[in-house]
Structure 1
Amino acid sequence: MKEQLIKQMDRKQLVDMIYIAKSGEISKRRIKVLHVHDHTFTAYCFMKKAQRTFLINNVLSLFPVVRNERDIIS
């Protein structure tokens, strides 16, 4: 997962993420990854409209936001 986060950060690509909070609540968030650390990463969360820190181990899935067909091919 860490490698995927680094890849999305390097590409400056928006990502839809399924995340499980410490409370056990599952949420879907659109984020832009800003920094990746050993066990956490910092991202701008469009749902909260703020910068947030997430635990890498709590990420259930990541998928890039595709704006048009050219983004899929490249």
Structure 2
Amino acid sequence: MEQILQRALEQKQRLEMIYISEQGEYSQRIILLVKNNEYDFLAYCYTKQAVRRFKKDHVLSILPYKKGKRFEA
């Protein structure tokens, strides 16, 4: 995951992730990384239209975003 995050930050590349919240709710997000920290990261979330903090241990899957292709449940 670290390589994906670092490359996305350097190349200003959107990512698509599946995330589980503290309350156990799953969500699929398209994000643009703002800052990568050791245990979390800041990213602009296109779903919520705001900068959010995401805990790395709550990320279930993360990949470069490809327009028109979404994760399948």
After TM superposition, the score normalised by the length of structure 2 is: 0.84
Gapped regions of structure 1 (runs ≥ 5): 68-74
Spell out structure 1 runs of 4+ moving beyond 6 A. none
Whose Rg is larger? 1
In structure 2, the residue matched to 1:50 is 50
CA contact (8 A) 1:2 1:56 kept: no
After TM superposition, the score normalised by the length of structure 1 is: 0.83
Q: Greater helix percent: which structure? A: 1
Q: Aligned residues: percent identity?
A: 37
Gapped regions of structure 2 (runs ≥ 5): 68-73
Cα-Cα RMSD = 1.5
CA deviation digits over 1:21-68, x for unaligned, max 9?
A: 11111100000011000101000000100000000111111111234x
